[in-house]
Amino acid sequence: MPPAPAKPNRGDARVALVAAGRKLFAEQGYDATTTRQIAAEAAVSHALLRYHFSSKAGLRDAVDDDVLGSFTNAVASAREEGIEDGALAEVGRATALLFGADQERRRYLRRVLIDGDDRAAALLARLVSGAEREVERLLPQPSALPPEHRRWAAYQTLFLILGPLLLEPALHAVLGSDPFAPETLAQRSNANQRLLQHGLFA
């Protein structure tokens, strides 16, 4: 008789539950996904979901933290490639690593933002806050930018990043190829950097 498969430890179970929640929330939406479906997808007991996250809302918070926290890891990876800390190219490469390498995280962000509920507003607010920090870090003289321009700088940067993510299915059809394929993503990232540095009609 073959031995029974080993049960995941609690740390592994937590990682599996976050991954399962991210996948099912992206596919079905938050409201339509049950905690029992998530536990089944993660191949762990339903009690472990309650143990780690208390509720479905707690798991959703953990998924948001996982998705948004991935940017820090992507920045670290960009620096490992030798891209200068604080350079626009660093942020461009980090963004490419984050969104280009992980279709599931793109699908999750797209689903949350398109659903347009309070969670979408909260997630967008966190994205804007992060973009504001990056803009402040990259501007050589933040005070030289007029207040009305500084207000929109983070949003404009996010529009360049989130636009292709939100439009990915239609963009794939229009381009006739994967808009997040490495070569296409690199070309778009370089074009965005040029746009941000020099302006389109300057």
pLDDT recorded at residue 4: 46
- Give the dihedral sign, CA 132/197/184/78: negative
Give residue-wise pLDDT tens across range 129-179. 888 887 887 777 767 778 888 889 889 988 988 899 899 999 999 999 999
Q: What is the mean pLDDT of residues 14-40?
A: 96
Long-range contacts of 140-144 (CB under 8 A, 24+ apart): none
Question: pLDDT higher for 3 or 35?
Answer: 35
Which residues lie below 8 Å from residue 148, measured CB to CB, with a gap of 6+? none
18, 41 Cβ separation under 8 angstroms: no
pLDDT recorded at residue 25: 96
The pTM of the full predicted model, rounded to 2 decimals, is: 0.81
Give residue-wise pLDDT tens across range 64-113. 999 887 766 665 555 555 555 556 676 676 666 666 668 888 899 999 99
pLDDT recorded at residue 195: 87
Question: pLDDT higher for 170 or 193?
Answer: 170
DSSP state letter for 139: -
pLDDT recorded at residue 6: 47
pLDDT recorded at residue 87: 62
Closest C-alpha to 22, from 59, 72, 52 = 59
Q: What percentage of the chain reaches a pLDDT higher than 90? A: 40
Helix 10-28, helix 35-42: angle, nearest 10: 120
Report the chain's mean pLDDT, rounded to a whole number: 83
